[in-house]
Structures are given as structure tokens and as C-alpha cells.
Structure 1
Amino acid sequence: MPELPEMETYKNLLQLKIAGHTIQAVEVNREKSINTSISDFTKELVGNKITQIDRRGKHLIFDLASGNKLLLHLMLGGLMYIETENDTISRTKQVILNFASHRLCFVGLRLGYLHLLTPNQVEKELEDLGPEPLQPTFSLKAFEKLVEDKRGRLKTTLVDQHFIAGIGNCYSDEICFAAELLPTRTFDTLNTKQIEKLYYSILTVFQEAIQFGGYIEKPLFKEDRLTGGYDDKCKVYDREGETCVRCGSVIQKEEVSSRKTFFCANCQI
């Protein structure tokens, strides 16, 4: 499932590719992927313009010239692809937004969705999300306040979107590795230095992951050479049986709260 770095990468690329462009036609092949009738969805979007793309946690928000918004969550298996006349993908497309020279295809939206909402509705949909870890307000002091009463495991808590928005399976493991902490540790066992190191690990892992386009190797368009570049830089995620880059031990995998979890039992404590 795409996490914060993947969605931030998509946001930045889409801002360059489709912001300012007018939607000329809409195709909906799975009505459950949207939240209105196909006719209402089409009526609102055709002739409308995407003016800005923002991100909140794992969501993308497409601002429309009409004042309404499209709220996207890809969930598990969802992806986007920008097609042109000479470059298409052989996948079932649940929703397609057609522009003058290209079309934005939403694929795999079996669990995900693309909802047409008012600004107030978007705000209500996202009001329960935790803080954005890359915002200036996410300071060390704010993080210390956030974790002061936490007792749960690091893995389970980090992937909780009410705690911090945008962290999922991959980056929770990478963050714990960077902090040299086992994902099975509980917050109430961490000392002040470990909490500080965990905080800075969130920042550094996300900053590097965004720099290299996230870990999911599915390009957004044919010439896309950014998306997925972080996959080769993951230290533990999906690296079971490989050698730890820090200490040379073997990376292990366990299930923590029904989630696959990768770590080094030697240099993570």
C-alpha cells in the first residue's frame, strides 16, 4: 500500500502533469469506486479544471476550479497511471479522467476510492488523522508530548493513522531500524534518548524516501524515472534472510499484530 513518500511523490509529479488542465471526459467503469452516481460525477468533472494537488497522510486531494475536491485513497493494490495515445496499460481501469493530450487512469480501486466532496466534507473525512510528520509543527517537543502516555508496541502504534498520518508497514520497519529499536518494543520502555532518536528517524527516513520516489516500483507515466527508487535503499523491509547493512547479521521477519515485520535482532534492541 502506498504510504506518505509514495503519495508525496505522486502529488509532486501530478502537480506538474495535470494541474491547470481541464477535464474533457470521464469514464467510470466501477461505480463503487466513487461516491455519487456516474452521471453526477461526470457532470461535475467534465469542463472542470484541477487547480492544485495536495496530500494528507496517505490521501491525495485534487482541488477543482468549481470549489469542490476529489479525495483519493489508493488502499491496497490501487495505483495511478498517466496514459497517452501511444502509451497505455493493459489493466482494468476503474476511473479515467481524460485531458487534451493524456488521461489519468485509476487502477485497482477495489478497496480504494475517488470521492467527490465539498471542502467541509474533506475536512470531516480527514479530521481523525494524526499529525503530518513533515510539517514544521511536528517538532521533537510535539512528538514527546504525543508519546508520553503511549504503551503499545512501536510497530502497532506507528502504523496507526490516528497517531501519525502516513506511516505504514514499510516505513514503520525502516524507521525502527534507523532508530536501532526493535519494532516489538513498547513506548513505555523507551528512554529520552531513544524517543529522540525515533523522532529524527521518522524525519530522515521520510526525507530520503521522498528524495528517491518511495519504494513502490510502479511508474506514474512512461518517462517516470523517480517513482520506486527507494526500494533498493530499504534496509530491512522485505529483506528477510539478507545481511544487515549495519552489523552483518541476518534480517528476520515476524508477524506483529498480523502485520509482516522486518528487523535485525542483533543491532536493534
Structure 2
Amino acid sequence: MPELPEMENYRGLLNQRIANQVITDVEINREKSINVHPDLFIRTVENQKVVAVNRRAKHLLFHLQNGQVLLLHLMLGGWMYFGSEEDKPKRTIQVRLSFGDQHLYFIGLRLGYLHLYNEKDVQQELSDLGPEPLEQDFTLQKFLDLLGNRRGRIKTKLLDQKFIAGIGNCYSDEICFQAGLLPKKEIEEISKTERTILYQSVQQALQSALKHGGYMDNPFYNGDTLTGGYNKLCLVYDREGENCHRCGATIVKETISSRKTFFCPNCQK
């Protein structure tokens, strides 16, 4: 599932290509991917300029000139492609937004969605999300205050979108590895020094993934060499049976909170 780095990568690429561009055509191939009748969706979105694309947690917000917002959550298996009809992926397209002869294809939206809201309603939809971990005001002290006397496993808390927004299965494992902590360790067992290291690891893991285009391996456009660059740089995620880059031990996989979890049993304590 795309997480903060993947969606932030998409945000930057989309703003380069469709900001201030007019949506000339809309095609809905799966009604369940949207939240209003297709006719209303098309009437509201078609011929509107995309003012900007913003991100909140794992969501993207396409702000339209008429004040409406398209709220995207790709969920599991969702991705996007921007290009011409000739070079589009040979995959089922759930929604297509056209910008002249260039198109934005939404693919794999079986669980994901592209919903239409006004500004007030979209903010309400996102109102229960926690702070953004890469924002300037997300300081060490704010993180320490958030942890406070909370209980539960580290990984479970990192996955909680009401606690911190944007971290999912992949980066919770990467963060725990960089911090040298087992994902299943209880929060109340973490010292203040370890909490500080955990905060630094959140910053480092997310910034590194963002710099390398995240871990999704589907290119966003023909010739895209950035998207998915972090996939080969993952330290533990999806590396079961491989050697740890830090100590050489074997990476193992366990299930924590119904999520597959990867860690080094030697480095992480």
C-alpha cells in the first residue's frame, strides 16, 4: 500500500504535469471507485482547472478551480500512470482524467477511491488524522509528548493514523530497524534515549524513501526513473531470509497486529 513517501512522490510529479491544466474529459469505468453518481462526477469535474495537488497522510487532494476537491486514497494495489493512450499500461483502468491528449489513469482502485467533496467536507473526512511527521513543527518534543504514557507495541502505534499520519507497513519496519528496536517491543519499555532515536529514525527513514521515490515499482510516466527507487534499498521490509546489511544475520518475518513484519533478530532489541 502506498505510504507517505509514495504519495508525496506522486504529489510532486502531478504538480509538475497537471497543475493549472484543464480536465478536458472524464471516464468512469467503475462506479464503486467514486462516491457520487457518474453523471454528477463528470459534470462537476470536466472542464475544471486543477489548481494544485496536495497531500495529507496517505491521501492526495486535487483542488479544482470551482472549489471542489478530488480525494484520492490508493489503498492496497492502487497506482497511477500519466501519459498518452498509446503508452498506457495494459491494465484495467477504473477512472481516467484527460488533459488534452495526455491522460491520468487510476489503476487498481478495487479498495481505493477517488471521491468528490467540497472543501469543508474534505477537511471533515481528514479531521481525525494525526500530525505529519515531516512537517517542521513535528519536533522531538512533540513526538515525546505524543508517546507520553501510551501503551502497546511500537509497530502498532506507528501504524495508527490518528497518532502519526502517513506511516504504513513498510516504513514502520524500516523505522524500527534504523532505531535498533524490535517492532513488537512495548512502548512503556522504551527509554527516553530510545524514544529520541526512534524520532530520528522516523525522519531518516521517510526522508530517505522520499529522496529515492518510495518503494512502489510502477513508473508514473514513460521514462520515469525515480518512482520505486527505494524498493531495492529497503533494509528489512520484504527481505525475509536475506542477510542484514548491518550485522549479516538473517532477516525474519513475523505477524504483528495482523501485519507481516520484517526485522533483524540480532540488531533489533
Structure 2 residue matching 1:97: 3-state secondary structure: strand
- CA distance in 2: counterparts of 1:26 and 1:251, whole angstroms: 46
Q: Which residue of structure 1 aligns with residue 115 of structure 2?
A: 115
Displacement, 1:66? 0.6
- CA distance in 2: counterparts of 1:122 and 1:55, whole angstroms: 12
- CA distance in 2: counterparts of 1:29 and 1:193, whole angstroms: 52
1:82 aligned onto 2:82: yes
| Structure 2 unaligned blocks of 5 or more | none
Number of positions where the alignment pairs a residue of Structure 1 with one of Structure 2: 269
1:80 maps to a residue whose letter is: M
1:251 maps to a residue whose letter is: I
1:141 aligned onto 2:141: yes
Q: Which residue of structure 2 aligns with residue 11 of structure 1?
A: 11
Residues 4 and 58, structure 1, Cα contact 8 Å, conserved in 2 = yes
Displacement, 1:86? 2.9
- CA distance in 2: counterparts of 1:28 and 1:101, whole angstroms: 17
2:24 maps to a residue whose letter is: Q
- CA distance in 2: counterparts of 1:95 and 1:12, whole angstroms: 20
Q: Which residue of structure 1 aligns with residue 27 of structure 2?
A: 27
Structure 1 residue matching 2:221: 3-state secondary structure: coil
Residues 213 and 227, structure 1, Cα contact 8 Å, conserved in 2 = yes
Q: Which residue of structure 1 aligns with residue 223 of structure 2?
A: 223
Structure 2 residue matching 1:167: 3-state secondary structure: coil
- CA distance in 2: counterparts of 1:145 and 1:225, whole angstroms: 39
Q: Deviations over 1:189-215 (max 9, x none)?
A: 000100000000000111110000000
**Residue correspondence of structure 1 range 42-53 to structure 2 within 5 A:** 42-53=42-53
- CA distance in 1: counterparts of 2:47 and 2:169, whole angstroms: 39
Task: State the 4+ residue runs in structure 1 displaced beyond 4 angstroms.
Answer: none
Q: Which residue of structure 2 aligns with residue 98 of structure 1?
A: 98
| Structure 1 unaligned blocks of 5 or more | none
1:231 maps to a residue whose letter is: N
Q: Which residue of structure 1 aligns with residue 191 of structure 2?
A: 191
- CA distance in 1: counterparts of 2:267 and 2:106, whole angstroms: 41
Structure 2 residue matching 1:230: 3-state secondary structure: helix
Structure 2 residue matching 1:114: 3-state secondary structure: strand
- CA distance in 2: counterparts of 1:168 and 1:255, whole angstroms: 14
- CA distance in 1: counterparts of 2:77 and 2:64, whole angstroms: 26
2:56 maps to a residue whose letter is: R
Displacement, 1:151? 0.9
1:161 aligned onto 2:161: yes
2:59 maps to a residue whose letter is: H
Q: Which residue of structure 1 aligns with residue 233 of structure 2?
A: 233
Q: Which residue of structure 2 aligns with residue 258 of structure 1?
A: 258
Q: Which residue of structure 2 aligns with residue 36 of structure 1?
A: 36
Residues 83 and 89, structure 1, Cα contact 8 Å, conserved in 2 = no
Structure 2 residue matching 1:237: 3-state secondary structure: coil
Residues 70 and 116, structure 1, Cα contact 8 Å, conserved in 2 = yes
Displacement, 1:241? 0.7
- % identity of equivalent residues: 54
Structure 1 residue matching 2:245: 3-state secondary structure: coil
- CA distance in 1: counterparts of 2:29 and 2:248, whole angstroms: 50
Superposition TM-score, scaled by structure 1 size? 0.99
Structure 1 residue matching 2:67: 3-state secondary structure: coil
Structure 1 residue matching 2:229: 3-state secondary structure: coil
- CA distance in 1: counterparts of 2:91 and 2:232, whole angstroms: 26
Displacement, 1:90? 1.0
- CA distance in 1: counterparts of 2:48 and 2:165, whole angstroms: 30
Q: Which residue of structure 1 aligns with residue 177 of structure 2?
A: 177
Displacement, 1:266? 0.5
- CA distance in 1: counterparts of 2:206 and 2:101, whole angstroms: 33
Structure 2 residue matching 1:261: 3-state secondary structure: strand
